[in-house]
Structure 1
Amino acid sequence: MTRSSGSPILETLVVFLLVALAQFVTGLFGAMGSLFYLSMPVTDDPWTIVTSIYAHGSLGHLLSNSVALVLFGWPVARATTRFRFHTFFIVAGALAGISQVWLMGLLGTVAPVVGASGAIFALLGYLIAANPVSEGVASSVDVPRWLVWLVFVVLAAGITIATASPRAALIAHFTGFLFGLLAGRARLLQVERRPPTDTPSV
């Protein structure tokens, strides 16, 4: 498989814009909630598991997530394939969104969730865990698995609290970041490099 040239980022940004336009149009008819906002029970509108990832609550929300996507996503996209990047983005965003509405539902709060923040936090987590420095440290220090999990959970909690803001989906951020750390540790998006083929002499 060949590595991506970074186009998954541009493709995702285009989807952001198309979904924003669709939100505006459907909002005129009062149908935006059932199409883009993820809420419990998710079985009522299962498509929102995916559509909610690319939808946003405001222009500022869209712009901030777009900037973060470029910053954290571009290095990941350049090191993997287009298919793996988009799959990772959707899976991470879905897990983050579902965990947000499910746990908040258990706490008695019914609030829909929308936005790509969980998936973007997953990209950040992947970058931290899969970069050469982290990989070198992990290979040189033998630590028990439970300690790795503990460090990841504490790091995810710290990043989530440090980036907290009013109306932020903190559970989604935590879940996405933790998922990204674990995926980065496992190098899920790594593409095996093929050995160069010798060019025959002419």
Structure 2
Amino acid sequence: MKTHMARPTLRTLALFAAVFAVQTLGGVVGIGTGLFALALPLGDRPWTIVTSVYAHGGFTHLLANAVALAVVGPLVARVTTPIRFHAFFLGTGAIAAIAQIFLTVPLGPTAVLGASGAIFALLGYTLVGNRASEAVLAWLPIGRRGRLTLFAVVAAVLTLATAAPGVALVAHFVGFSLGAVAGRGRILHTSREATPRQ
């Protein structure tokens, strides 16, 4: 893996580790994950819109997200700039987390933390924003609505594949969907030749 391609992914992994270290130290002195987790009302702890994306519920959670990021992160990093990568990661992760807490209100109060929404956005971008996908979509006579339906079905299948107690499924679905839409427009690509043809 080339260094410039790995750099945004490595920096994000370093943020994971730093935030987890602070979480662990906080646990020792009696500060729980509430300082990092996103919950309603958002105005009570607005910084958690950011911290919740990089915080994790335990070492296993951290490890799973770190491995997933190590796989998909460099694929996106190679087509974009570090600033765009980090803005996309934080933005999609925050939106996915906010969607998770608002859309699960009927199930009772909830809090969310972890990078899986952002990682699913990177996955969606990777799957949709490449030449092979573009060729397949151009070949399929399904139109714009058909493509949106296809993206939603793929997002649902991938979301359900990760279903387990305590998993933020809404965040996974929203993250993948955001990534797929962004990938279709190739908004992170910096090369002129990367612009999709109409």
| TM-score, with structure 2 as normaliser | 0.90
Larger radius of gyration: 1
* Alignment-derived partner of residue 176 in structure 1: 175
* Alignment-derived partner of residue 111 in structure 1: 110
Shift of 1:108: 3.6
**Deviation string for 1:59-109 (max 9, x for gaps)?**
00001100000101111111110000000000110011000011111x141
* Alignment-derived partner of residue 159 in structure 1: 158
Secondary structure of residue in 1 paired with 2:42: coil
The total of aligned residue pairs comes to: 191
**Deviation string for 1:94-135 (max 9, x for gaps)?**
011000011111x14112101000100111111110122101
* Alignment-derived partner of residue 190 in structure 2: 191
Shift of 1:167: 1.1
* Alignment-derived partner of residue 134 in structure 2: 135
Contact 1:122 1:181 in 2 (8 A): yes
| In structure 2, C-alpha distance between the alignment counterparts of 1:171 and 1:25, rounded to whole Å | 30
| In structure 2, C-alpha distance between the alignment counterparts of 1:168 and 1:108, rounded to whole Å | 14
* Alignment-derived partner of residue 196 in structure 2: none
| In structure 2, C-alpha distance between the alignment counterparts of 1:136 and 1:64, rounded to whole Å | 32
| TM-score, with structure 1 as normaliser | 0.89
| In structure 1, C-alpha distance between the alignment counterparts of 2:92 and 2:181, rounded to whole Å | 11
* Alignment-derived partner of residue 59 in structure 1: 59
Normalized per residue, which structure has more helix?
2
The Cα RMSD (Å) is 1.7
Q: Which amino acid aligns with 1:42?
A: L
Secondary structure of residue in 2 paired with 1:161: helix
The percentage of counterpart residues that share the same residue type is 47
Secondary structure of residue in 2 paired with 1:22: helix
| 2:21 pairs with 1:21 | yes
* Alignment-derived partner of residue 100 in structure 1: 100
| In structure 2, C-alpha distance between the alignment counterparts of 1:112 and 1:60, rounded to whole Å | 18
Unaligned segments of structure 1, at least 5 residues: 195-202
Secondary structure of residue in 2 paired with 1:43: helix
**Deviation string for 1:23-79 (max 9, x for gaps)?**
012223333334201011111111101100100001000011000001011111111
Q: Which amino acid aligns with 1:156?
A: A
| In structure 1, C-alpha distance between the alignment counterparts of 2:22 and 2:169, rounded to whole Å | 26
Contact 2:137 2:147 in 1 (8 A): no
* Alignment-derived partner of residue 90 in structure 2: 90
Contact 1:34 1:45 in 2 (8 A): no
| Greater CA drift, 127-136 or 24-33 | 24-33
Equivalences for residues 30-49 of structure 1 within 5 A: 30-49=30-49
Shift of 1:150: 1.2
Secondary structure of residue in 2 paired with 1:31: coil
| In structure 2, C-alpha distance between the alignment counterparts of 1:132 and 1:152, rounded to whole Å | 16
Contact 2:152 2:177 in 1 (8 A): yes
Contact 2:101 2:111 in 1 (8 A): yes
